[in-house]
Each structure stands twice: as C-alpha cells, then as structure tokens.
Amino acid sequence: MKRKFRIDFNKANDHSIDYLLGILEDARFTTIQRLENLPAEELHWQFKEGWNTIGVLLSHIIAIENYFRIHYIERRDLTKQETEKWLPGLEIGKYIPQLINDKPVETYITELAESRQLFLKALDNLSFEEFSKRIDDYDADTGCNLAWVLYHFAEDEVHHRGQISILRKLYKEQ
C-alpha cells in the first residue's frame, strides 16, 4: 500500500471531520510503515528494565484507540471484560512485564487494523454537532470536544511512533 499525500474530503458529514480522518489515516499508515521488517527479537527487546518495548507501545496504541472509541464516541464506560483486556495497555507502567510477549509483528499489525476498523465504523455517522459539542473532560473549566480528543489521539500515536523509532535506533546500536 502506498502512502497518500492528500486528504480526501466529502467522506464524512463535515469537512472538519474529513480533515481529522485524513490525519488519523496518515498517522496509522506511517506507524505501520515503521514496523516493516521488524524481527520479533527487536519487537520485544527492552533497553533497560522498566522501559517500554516496541510491542508494549503498540499494545498501548491499540488499547488507547479502543478506549477512545468506547469512552468518547460510543459514550459508555468500559465493561469489566473490556477493562481486563485494555487496562494493561492503557496504563503500561506496572503492566510492562505482562505486555512483553512472543507475539509477532504481524499480530500487532492485525490488531492495529482491527481497532482502526472499529474506530472508523463508530465515526461513520458522526455529526458536526457531536464532533464539536462540549465534553466535561480534561479541563474542569473549559471541558473539551470530540475534535480535540481525536486530535489528541492522533498526537499520542505520533508521539509513541517517535519512541518506536528511538527504540529501533537503540536496538541497532547495542
């Protein structure tokens, strides 16, 4: 698949939603691009005890996407089963040891695709009013809106992709 250098409009109910969807699409494409030819050893390599691995960061990106879909788009709390499944990837920290596993990179790529498909499906009928409506979260005075939440979601993935790039360089130097 080739990276697109244009954002397509007229897919969503509003051009501002189209714009954000284009950003999300490019962020995910370039994340997956960074994973090409990634051996399992490098995927699960830990620079120092307590540090994230590339696999841990991918688990986090997947968990965040599912959490944001459920909490901000579907507007519901995680079920007990969802909490058990996504909490380690959401919080990382003390869960790092259990997140380091033997999964191959293809499994993470599949999980990234699955979480994105669910995310985009949830956004399908989003209106501009829902996109821009105040949500009482993040800031007690101003709240936020779904547009900002989704921007923050894209920003988070790009941030962690930078960490993945650094871990790949550290791995090659060792």
Whether residue 36 has pLDDT greater than 90: no
Q: For residue 22, how far is the Cα from the chain centroid? A: 15
What residues contact 156, with CB distance under 8 A and at least 6 apart? 61, 64
Domain ranges of the chain: 15-173
Whether residue 1 has pLDDT greater than 80: no
- Identity of residue 56: V
Instruction: Summarize pLDDT for 91-101 with one digit per residue, the tens.
Output: 999 999 999 99
Q: At what angle do helices 54-68 and 80-91 cross, to 10 degrees?
A: 140
Q: What is the pTM of this model?
A: 0.93
The count of other CB atoms within 10 Å of the CB of residue 4 is 11
3-state secondary structure of 159: helix
Q: Which residues pair with residue 135 across a beta bridge?
A: 144
Q: What does the mean pLDDT of the chain come to? A: 94
CATH tag for 15-173 (out of 2.40.160.20, 1.20.120.450, 1.10.600.10, 1.10.730.10):
1.20.120.450
Q: What is the pLDDT of residue 8?
A: 87
